[in-house]
Amino acid sequence: MKNTLGAGLLLACTALTHPLAEAFSQFGSQTATSSLKSLSHQPNGPDPKVLQLALRAYHWAANHKHIQKQLLTIVDFSRASIEKRLWVIDLAKNRILFSGLVAHGRNSGGLKATHFSNSPESRESSLGTFVTEDTYVGKHGYSLRVAGLEAGLNNNAKSRAIVVHPAKYVGDNFISQKGMLGRSWGCFALDPEYASDVIHMIKGGSVIFAYAPGMENDAHYGTA
């Protein structure tokens, strides 16, 4: 029997009027409403709507997967690749730990990602809720495996070898030369300057939420 986001959203909507501690004993003393405001108004903070969806996804994930860290990574693919569109948020302290660049899949688009897929060999980015797993050293260097939690939306992430890894085509210098970031085969590719620090921070059971406009209307959204 499938577990849909409906139940998760009901729980999350309730949680959004209380401290962000629905999945843990306590995330902090502020209400989620004030958390949304404070986080989204920080310099280079995420869009309030995207942040709200990401918080709901976190609570949903906590009810379907063993989440070990009170960290939430948001990737907002509504923004161009030359913009900071990745944030790591400490839910316990209610603050943004990091914001930076992240590449999208080669077949998802050029400057902006407009196409997304869960299909093998698509070389497109996937959307939705992921949980981080273990690290390894591969052809891109220090990398991080992730598992997609939503059937039909991103559950092929592991078989597609979708990971978080450093890439030389991500960074301000590359943007200066090409006018946009390079593109991955669907992985969350980061600037080598900070990739290792971010990977070390979020590895081992934190949540990644990848957003694009209209994803809430996907029939697979929130299906475990």
**pLDDT tens digits along 161-188:** 999 999 999 999 999 999 999 999 999 9
**pLDDT category, 82, cuts 50, 70, 90?**
very high
**pLDDT category, 219, cuts 50, 70, 90?**
low
Instruction: Tell whether the torsion through CA atoms of 119, 2, 216 and 218 is positive or negative.
Output: positive
What are the tens digits of pLDDT across the range 21-43? 343 333 333 445 666 667 777 77
**pLDDT category, 11, cuts 50, 70, 90?**
very low
- Average pLDDT, integer, range 41-47: 83
Range with the poorest average pLDDT among 13-27, 57-71, 94-108: 13-27
User: Is residue 18's pLDDT more than 90?
Assistant: no
Compute how many other C-beta atoms are within 10 angstroms of the C-beta atom of residue 179.
11
Domains of the chain are: 66-217 (2.40.440.10)
Q: Is 49:183 a contact under the CB 8 Å cutoff?
A: no
CA 143 to chain centre: 15
Strands 207-211 and 71-76: parallel
